[in-house]
Amino acid sequence: MTFQFMPFDHPICVPIWLHPSGNFCSYEIEYADNQVTIGTFGLDTLTTVTTSSAADQPTQIQGVAFGCGAINRIDLPGDAGHPNEISGILGLGIDHPSSFLLQLSSITLKRFSYCIPYRVGAVSSLRFGEDAQLTGSDIQITPLLEFSSDLYYINMTGISLNGSRLPTDPRMFKAWGNSGVVVDTGTEYSLFASKVYTLIHQAMKSYFTENYSMKPLNKTRSGLELCYSMVDVRRTKKRRGLKFVAPEVIFHLDRADLKLNEATTFRADEDLQEFCMMMAAISSGEPNILGAFQQYNNRFLIDVPESKFSFTAEMC
């Protein structure tokens, strides 16, 4: 057994996430969307595998700091009665010495790539350092904004729906001074300032009314604001066939475009019998967030030293 509890005076045991608790170090992190992980910090041996070479090369690294979670939970909207247990939260920010990127900076090179699969239960890879690469001809690159925080920010300049640009002001996507939109895999779906969300909501509702004569539900079971009955969706698909499609949505970034299709804009919930747009309004004063749902089936690369956020389509 290689695990040992982290002593209270360890240089990593510092606020805001960690704090001394008796002779050891504890942590308590409350995250967005009612996610929480609480437990004790410790040190253990980590085994990594390098795949960039001809043969996989395992490497053991001793004394890596980990949180040993006693309480781990994420409560998703519409699923309050069935809290989802999670293993914890992997810290990939650069604001705290416990960050995986900083602890193993000689390996991670402060860069990593990830791809979130659309299908539940699918396996994908999280890559670091030299293994974190993008391939393909359509690689989009936008700058990471310089901002002193544990979050990664990018600059969003506008949104298009069905080929038409919505009348947004770039300043609508900014909060906390000059910060932009937060890139966050821990938030289930994208959240926007109320003025931005209202424009998206109105344009999407108009699209379904004008093209399919469909009316949204007055009250939803999921808690999401714009939903249609799955009965209406199936009836319309049967009547219109392949001509039934949700409109393409494009998030315009600084020098890049993130294109969304029906699978990354709407979720068909067979249990609730609702077809819902996976976006919502954020509380006043909070930053806009690019959430996980809109990141499905793309590989993203975050390169801190180069201040770049890159992505390309990939079936995870």
Whether 97 and 183 map to the same domain: the answer is: no
What average pLDDT is seen over the chain? 88
**Number of independent structural domains in the chain:** 2
Expressed in angstroms, the distance from the first to the final Cα of the chain is 34
Which range of residues forms the domain containing residue 204?
Answer: 140-313
Shared domain for 278 and 208, answered yes or no, is: yes
User: How confident is the model over 111-158, as pLDDT tens digits?
Assistant: 999 999 887 777 888 999 999 999 988 999 999 997 667 789 999 999
Residue 87 has pLDDT above 70, yes or no: no
- 59 vs 33, which has greater pLDDT? 59
Predicted pLDDT of residue 283: 83
Of 131, 163, 195, which closes a domain?
Answer: 131
Would you say 243 and 192 are in contact if contact means Cβ atoms under 8 Å apart?
A: no
Would you state the structure tokens that stand for residue 36, as one six-digit string?
Answer: 């929480």
Query: Are 47 and 59 within 8 A, CB to CB?
Result: yes
Say yes or no: 200 and 157 in one domain. Answer: yes
pTM of full prediction above 0.85: yes
Residues 68, 184: one domain? no
Give Cβ neighbours of residue 157 (< 8 Å, ≥ 6 apart): 170, 173, 252, 253, 254
Using the predicted structure, report yes or no on whether residue 40 has a pLDDT greater than 90.
Answer: yes
Residue 201 CA, chain-centre distance (Å), reads: 21
Last residue of a domain, one of 96, 131, 166: 131
Q: Where is the domain boundary, 100, 131, 162?
A: 131
pLDDT-based confidence at 80, cuts 50/70/90?
very low
Spatial distance between the Cα atoms of 196 and 304, rounded to a whole number of angstroms: 28
102 and 13 housed in the same domain: yes
Query: Same domain for 236 and 287?
Result: yes
CATH code of the domain in which 147 resides: 2.40.70.10
Q: CA 310 to CA 134: how far, in whole Å?
A: 8
Of 161, 163, 183, which Cα lies nearest the Cα of 173? 183
Q: Which phi and psi (to 5°) does residue 37 adopt?
A: -140, 130
Q: Which of 36-50, 173-187, 246-260 has the highest mean pLDDT?
A: 246-260
Q: What is the pLDDT of residues 185-227, one digit of tens each?
A: 888 899 999 999 999 999 999 999 999 999 999 999 999 999 9
Q: Tell me: do 126 and 208 sit in the same domain.
A: no
3-state secondary structure of 92: coil
Same structural domain for residues 197 and 93? Answer: no
Same domain, 307 and 277: yes
Based on the fold, state whether residues 90 and 238 are members of the same structural domain. no
Helical segments of the chain, H only: 100-103, 105-108, 194-212, 230-240
Structure tokens, 308: 């770049």
Judge if 99 and 158 occupy the same domain.
no
**Sequence letter at residue 223:** G
What does the pLDDT read at residue 305?
Answer: 94
Structure confidence at residue 312 (pLDDT): 97
Token pair of 92, please?
């990939």
Q: Assess contact for 97 and 12: CB atoms under 8 A.
A: yes
**Whether residue 307 sits in one domain with residue 229:** yes
The pLDDT tens digits of the residues spanning 147-183 come to 667 789 999 999 999 999 999 999 999 866 667 999 9
